[in-house]
Structure 1
Amino acid sequence: MDDSTNPRSGPGSEPLGAMILQPLPQSASLARRWFHKLIAPYGPACSIDDCTLMISELVTNAVLYGWSYEEWVVRVEWFKEGTSLRVEVHNPGTPVNVRVQQSDADDAHGRGLLLVDSIAESWHSRPSRFGGTVVSFVVADAWPTRR
């Protein structure tokens, strides 16, 4: 689901971590390793493997489609919002209407957002507060409610 009106953060949004990556192909695997390591102490109940897959796809897209005339980076940030986890991936590319593409069965690329769309509770794109574009996803029930 694409909703460019989604606010960056709201009441109860708690920053949990962030990383800055170079716009290189190996940044997707670096993002997977570091997110796994940095989120573990928070004890999420959701699938960390699903989250790292979605992060990897969004970082890959940011590296492929982000651009700037100056040196630039890909930013990944994650937040706890109630029992949900929200992850944002920022790149300096021109803000565009990011959308799921329909790929042919023999296409080697073009399924990243389709994966995010099928795994996440929701996903959004909008202009980034750093300039460029941010694509984010939300995983519901990432933390159990306390009794």
Structure 2
Amino acid sequence: MDAAHAVATAAIFVWLGMVLAISFLEAPLKFRAPGVTLPIGLGIGRLVFRALNTCEVVLGVAAVAALVSGEGSTAALIASIVAVAMLLSQIVFVRPALTRRSDQVLAGADGPRSRAHYVYVALELVKVVALIVAGVLLLTHSA
């Protein structure tokens, strides 16, 4: 395994672990913690997801750059690009709607839940599948 391949593999699996831990473990559980109100949970969520998305951008750039510069599999590169595209869709198209809705809730507005949340989760699921595919392809390519 060359250095670029190792960097891509590490970046993909660190990214996958972060997404699984934050999106599918921390995010839903924080609202079940004693004393965590909806405004507090939303405030924490904003900070955590902003930090997560920043780390994801760095890891996505590192993975794609390593795959482009190394002798990685084309399929692993495509899967990585799909993951990056899902991330960019979340940041550019979905997070602004979620931010507007959380601003309304924090200001005391009632109303239905944002459908943008379901779009975010759907993109997150596609991203997780793409990361698993990229990671498996990278591991099998190194064998």
Structure-2-length-normalised TM-score: 0.32
* Structure with max Cα Rg: 2
Structure-1-length-normalised TM-score: 0.31
Structure with more helix by fraction: 2
Higher relative contact order (CA 8 A, sep 6+): 2
Structure with more strand by fraction: 1
